[in-house]
Amino acid sequence: MTGHNPETLSVTIVDGYVDEPAHFGVPPYISTYPRYTAGALVDAGVPEARITYHTIDGLRDVPDRWQDVDEADLLIYLGGMTVPGKYVGGTPAEPDEVRKLAWTASGTTLMGGPVKFGVGDANEGATDTQRRDLDFDFVAKGDVEAAVYDLVESSLEGFNNRMRDLSEVSRWARQGAFVVEQHPNHPEYLICELETSRGCAYRCSFCTEPLYGNPSFRPPPSVIDEVDALSSRGVKHFRLGRQADILAYGGDGEAPNPDALHELYGGIREAAPDLETLHLDNMNPITIANWPEASREGIRIIAEHNTPGDTAAFGLESADPVVQEANNLNVSAEECLEAVRIVNEAGGWRPGEEPGSGPSLPPFDSDGPPRLPKLLPGINLLHGLMDEREETYEHNLEFLRRVYDEGLVLRRVNIRQVMAFSGTEMSETGASIAKAHKRLFKSYKREVRETIDNPMLERVGPPGTVLPDVHLEYHQDGMTFGRQLGTYPLLVGIPGERPLGDRVDVAVVDHGYRSVTGVPYPLDLNAASMDELTTIPGLGQRRAGDVIVDRPHHSVPDLGENVAGPLASVLEVSETPVRE
């Protein structure tokens, strides 16, 4: 294990994916961990050519890649899920797979990331966790990138549990950008999670983010330089997701700092002028409630610079005042409702409309089909917290009904059950309350999907809304499903089986609870299939059959009153009519 020269050291990094309250890394996302770790290796003297990066899915798909695990002088595993989730783009590593990595490796092994907080048997709610070393030589209890740097610089002898400093992360973020080129998704279908800060000023009972301490911020030049390095490697999609509250960026950890946001967002746009996605994740509603005007200005700046479809995730967690008090939740239902209003007003406008014009609902005044709003709030609700009771579920439903009845728009409602981690106040209670309320939770979740999610989705993306660059991911039941790249992207089902990996512009024609049905935009009546035509509400089998029989069309025919307005605007005929 000793005596290695960094210049000759062979290193394999395996990304088992992460999901934290303020950090995401399941494909098509790539977290900061593998990039910063690779940068630390380079800074310690390891040449880029000696560093191999694999995702856990890449190892599953190509078994020969396990040879890189076996032959590496140093194997680094990065992973850990501290919030429950279900994923389309990748499958997080299971504990047995992580043990296999340790057993396969013939060199030194090191494990890091949020896995240090604990591991459950499955990444789902109502789960108790425990800390495990999973048979690795070293487990980084501090920053894994700092541990890697110290270990390599000392010829695999000087392991330390410490946190990295600002100068280190600024260097490592730039130096490690190269690993995006080794990701199976490749840079063009990859969203890079960007860290603006970590830690939190608040101490909610369940959350692992406060275990990083009080908020510490990377100054704009550090983040902008990282974007520049990633952009030079072909990355076009970015998310400011690694922070507890984007509005507090560059301030004291609580109050908004619009000037810092302007410098950050403006600098990112200059560093990557051809970017295709610029989204964010967490925004604390208590910040908006306590500093409404400064927050409004910060939201305006974000909506000016971001790309459509952005979501500000609000950690309400519970609208029940009893649960709020027992779990140190920092925002009341009334305060959160006011924050929803302000984000709707300042960020809920659509491209082509007047900025700050408020939540935009049909009918639309802009020319052409509507796009997704620039920035909408999302609500996080968490169940199984201390002192949860049956009334808790009604409190949450009442809050959501008030939002809907006011004509406000939420991008999504995220309903989860708690995962309990050592070091948090929930560790003693564990998942016992969540398990006891499983049946109630399921019926309540179904009611939210039916009465809130479905009609709310129609407000977010009404019929005729165009979603550019939908990446086609999988086939199911004769349809092709895909998503745009971004924060909480809409799942889109398109009739027929289309080549996976393609990108298509899609027009929304119908809505489910958590997904939409769409057709290619514009839909060429001289080439459209029967399935695509009948997907359009109001067209029907008979009229769709007439469209096909009467080909070629030289102009869009009159399809009746039901197919009018936004839906009619998605139709076209090819310049050179196609004959059957």
Statement: residue 135 has pLDDT above 90: no
How does DSSP assign 60-112, residue by residue?
HH-GGGHHHHHH-SEEEEEEEESS----SS--PPPHHHHHHHHHH--SEEEEE
Q: Around Cβ 541, how many Cβ atoms within 10 Å?
A: 10
Under CATH, what is the fold of the domain 1-185? Rossmann fold (3.40.50)
pLDDT band at 125 (very low <50, low <70, confident <90, very high): very low
What residues are paired with 13 via a beta bridge? 53, 76
Phi/psi for 303 (5° steps) reads: -65, -25
Q: Each residue of 138-151: pLDDT tens digit? A: 999 889 999 999 99
> How high does pLDDT run on average in the chain?
89
CA distance 492 to 519: 9
Q: Each residue of 496-550: pLDDT tens digit? A: 999 999 999 999 999 988 899 999 999 999 999 999 999 988 888 888 898 899 8
Q: What angle, 0 to 180 degrees and rounded to 10, lies between the N-to-C axes of helices 32-43 and 166-175?
A: 100
Give the CATH number of domain 187-461.
3.80.30.20
Statement: residue 203 has pLDDT above 70: no
Classify the C-alpha dihedral 218-222-228-231 as positive or negative: negative
Picking from 327, 343, 333, the residue whose alpha carbon sits closest to that of residue 292 is: 343
| HEC string for 432-461 | HHHHHCHHHHHHHHHHHHHHHHHHHHHHHC
pLDDT band at 119 (very low <50, low <70, confident <90, very high): low
Q: Each residue of 335-368: pLDDT tens digit? A: 999 999 999 999 999 998 888 777 767 766 666 7
- Taking the whole predicted model, whether its pTM rises above 0.95 is answered as no
Least reliable range by pLDDT among 180-194, 244-258, 387-401: 244-258
Q: What angle, 0 to 180 degrees and rounded to 10, lies between the N-to-C axes of helices 258-271 and 220-232?
A: 20
CATH class of 466-572: mainly beta
**Paired tokens of 371:** 């796009």
**Paired tokens of 552:** 């070629």
Least reliable range by pLDDT among 120-124, 330-334, 351-355, 524-528: 120-124
The distance from CA 511 to its chain's CA centroid, rounded to whole angstroms, is: 21
CA distance 407 to 347: 15
pLDDT, position 210: 66
- H-assigned helices in 241-368: 258-271, 285-290, 292-305, 321-326, 333-347
- Domain locations in the chain as residue ranges: 1-185, 187-461, 466-572
**Paired tokens of 169:** 């992360």
Q: Each residue of 471-497: pLDDT tens digit? A: 999 999 999 999 999 998 999 999 999
Statement: residue 126 has pLDDT above 60: no
Q: What one-character DSSP code corresponds to residue 122?
A: S
Statement: residue 256 has pLDDT above 90: yes
pLDDT, position 574: 84
**Paired tokens of 466:** 């165009």
Phi/psi for 567 (5° steps) reads: -70, -40
Q: Around Cβ 187, how many Cβ atoms within 10 Å?
A: 18
The distance from CA 514 to its chain's CA centroid, rounded to whole angstroms, is: 15
First-to-last C-alpha distance (Å) of the chain: 70
Statement: residue 60 has pLDDT above 50: yes
Statement: residue 244 has pLDDT above 90: no
